[in-house]
Structure 1
Amino acid sequence: MITNNPFNNTHTIYFLRSTIIIQRHIKHFIIRKFLTNIYNNLPTSSPIDNRWPSCLKCFIEVNEELKRIFHKWRCYKYRQKLDQIECNKMHEKAIASTIFKDKKLSYARSVPHIFCGDYIKLRQNPKWLKMSHETYEHYIVFADIVHKINRSDGSFVQKLLVVTTKGLLIIDYRTLEAKYIIPAFEIIQISLSPFSDGIVAFNIKPHEKSQKGDFMIISNHAIEITSKLYLVILNICNKPPIISISPKFQLNLLNTKLNVTVISERSPIDEIFAQLPKISKKANDMNIII
């Protein structure tokens, strides 16, 4: 007759308990080592620092979640340090990304550049101060010299383009005489090409008193102009303008329409705005070769 040995049973129970305790300590040790490694190798507090510690396969999901939480926290801390002006600049950059990312070739080059707004220090110009009081256009969002494209023959004329919190102005840069004063609510569409160029077309709401119609400009800051004007129109009208990014668009010239086609002969790696584009016009068709 076989009998159970009490000693053997007790030994087995202690062995199983010991195994569980050892496994638990090993698991805790591995987790502690994983967390300690992250703590000792955290990236900087800069939101653009993409470094993050590697881990074992079993921690990949947790590791990614910790990375997301840490990045969200440092973005929050970074935003807390910004004043209202810096927050506005970041908002403009975010709008530019929404509008142009993967849609316009020149967008990627604009990302590291700060939107300066007033490139010619117009705010300090006595003539502007006088004109702003007469037109009630006080706060400058953007100001720079641009090339306005003549719709009749495709020639270029240098003008001063100013975006204010109320709308858009085209001004003679020598005399500061206003040629166009366009309230924000009258700008219904902004058209651009998908290429590396600075062509911007403004489509204006038809108006009985208007004798101007739509118009085009070329600027080194097409991305910035569009982004800032987009926000101005959104703030005033509670809805954004239509943004069209296409090699073909149309301008309304009083009772006629002008069909514009932008043709790119430039390599994507060529420097932007090396020279002004070539323009040919026949009847109601205009080809812009960049």
Structure 2
Amino acid sequence: LEDRRRTQMEVLATLIQKTYRGWRCRTHFRLMKKSQILISAWFRGHNQQKKYQQLKKATIFLQACTRGWEVRKCHRKYFKSNASKTIRNFIISSIIQKYFLSLKNTLPSMSPTDKKWPALPYLFLDKAHQELKRIFCLWKCKKYRETLSNQKKAELEEKLYASELFKDKKAAYASSVPQPFKGMYMDAQRKAKYQKLASSIEGKLLMMDTATKINRKDGKQSPRILIMTNSYFVLADPKSLQIKTLIKMNEIASISMSQRKDGLFALHVVENSSVGPKGDFLLNSDHLVELTTKLHRSILDATQQKIN
């Protein structure tokens, strides 16, 4: 019995080993078969895509050759007669393209005062070169104006107005160009002292400065506080703060001055003015250009007429 049991146990162990080994081999075989199918599918797909791309490229090339041949066949009779024109147009297009690319890399700065411009490389582009220079100057001036505040624009408008009045006419104008128009030339202590006097005068305060009144008879000089609003031109005593002269803007007939660098000017008033028999006024100011510019604009706004 013991021998039979041992024999039967060996048979069963062999059967279990055979069954397990068979299952493991079949599982491994199925896995290898699945992997082989997946690899084959990817390889065939890649191979077919590669063949398709080559076929597509060859087809496009053949189509291009065929279409080119057909076009050349239709237009062959024009080739020799138009060859020079075609070459000329190609050369000109290449030159223009080269010109624009070089111009792009050599543009001057965006400062409105910078008048530099690249040299003209080809004479036949002279008109286009000058027109591009004009357009670029206008464009950078426009960009500069967009960055200005309202106060700065008003100051530049006064400067432009002054140039129309004094350029090439007054020797002192050149030195006044870089100097900003301040309007108020009193220090803080003196400005506070005369502020009450200025507030008693009708109109918007445009300028407050010191000036010298010159007597027409004996040439005697008297210091005065000059206050200008958009309605009145006022001369006051700096000590007593009393108004010595009050002239309406519409009562000023004209302004006279020399062409030299002095600050002398004469105010000519109309007949029957509010100043009475005093007549015209001879004055001296350190800021003649600014003073007469503001005075000229105020008179124009008040009378709608330009004075001499």
CA distance in 1, matches of 2:211, 2:295: 15
Q: 1:45 aligns with which of 96, 105, 110?
A: 110
User: Per the alignment, do residues 166 and 123 of structure 1 end up closer, same or farther by CA in structure 2, a change over 3 Å counting?
Assistant: farther
Question: Structure 1 or 2: larger helix share?
Answer: 2
Higher strand share: 1
8 Å contact from structure 1 (residues 118, 140) kept in 2: no
- Describe the shift of the 1:154–1:173 C-alpha distance in structure 2 as closer, same or farther (beyond 3 A): same
Deviation at 1:15, TM superposition (A): 4.3
User: How far did residue 18 of structure 1 move?
Assistant: 4.0
Is 1:78 equivalent to 2:144 in the alignment? yes
Instruction: Compute the displacement of 1:202 (Å).
Output: 0.5
CA–CA distance in structure 2, aligned partners of residues 34 and 172 of structure 1: 67
Task: Mark the CA change 1:157 to 1:120 in structure 2 (over 3 Å): closer, same or farther.
Answer: same
Q: CA deviation at 1:121?
A: 4.5
Give the secondary-structure state (helix, strand or coil) at the position aligned to 1:42.
coil
Per the alignment, in what secondary structure is the counterpart of residue 97 of structure 2? helix
The counterpart of 1:141, out of the listed 190, 206, 221, is 206
Unaligned runs of 5+ in 1: 1-9, 243-290
The residue correspondences of 1:106-125 to structure 2 (distance < 5 A) are 106-121=172-187, 125=191
* 1:228/1:150 CA distance change after superposition, 3 Å: same
Amino acid of the structure 1 residue aligned with 2:287: H
1:173 corresponds to which of 233, 238, 245: 238
Q: Determine the C-alpha separation between the residues in 1 that align with 2:282 and 2:273.
A: 21
Structure with more relative contact order (C-alpha pairs < 8 Å, separation 6 or more): 1
Q: 1:189 aligns with which of 254, 257, 262?
A: 254
- Which residue type is aligned with residue 286 of structure 2? N
Pick from 175, 199, 203: which aligns with 2:264?
199
Shift of 1:174: 2.9
Q: Structure 1 residues 223, 152: closer, same or farther in 2, change over 3 A?
A: same
Contact kept, 8 Å, 2:201 with 2:232, in 1: the verdict is no
For residues 6-85 of structure 1, the aligned pairs below 5 Å read 14-55=79-120, 56-85=122-151
Determine the C-alpha separation between the residues in 1 that align with 2:158 and 2:273.
33
What is the rounded CA distance, in whole Å, between the counterparts of 1:20 and 1:235 in structure 2? 63
Structure 2 residues not aligned, in runs of 5+: 1-74
Q: How many residues align?
A: 232
Whether the 8 Å CA contact 1:37–1:53 is kept in 2: the answer is no
**Conserved? CA contact 1:148–1:156, under 8 Å:** yes
Q: Does 1:151 align with 2:216?
A: yes
Report SS of the residue matched to 1:174: coil
For the 8 Å contact 1:42–1:53, the answer to whether it is kept is yes
Q: TM-score of the superposition, structure 2-length normalised?
A: 0.69
Whether the 8 Å contact between 1:203 and 1:215 is mirrored in structure 2 is yes
Equivalent in the alignment of 2:290:
224
Q: Distance in 2 between matches of 1:123 and 1:23?
A: 77
RMSD over aligned CA atoms reads 2.3
Opposite residue 23 of structure 1, the aligned amino acid is: R
Residue matched to 1:237:
303
**Matched AA of 1:158:** P
Identify the range of structure 1 (69-78 vs 17-26) with the bigger mean alpha-carbon deviation: 17-26
Which amino acid in the other structure matches residue 234 of structure 1?
A: L
Identity of aligned residues (%): 33
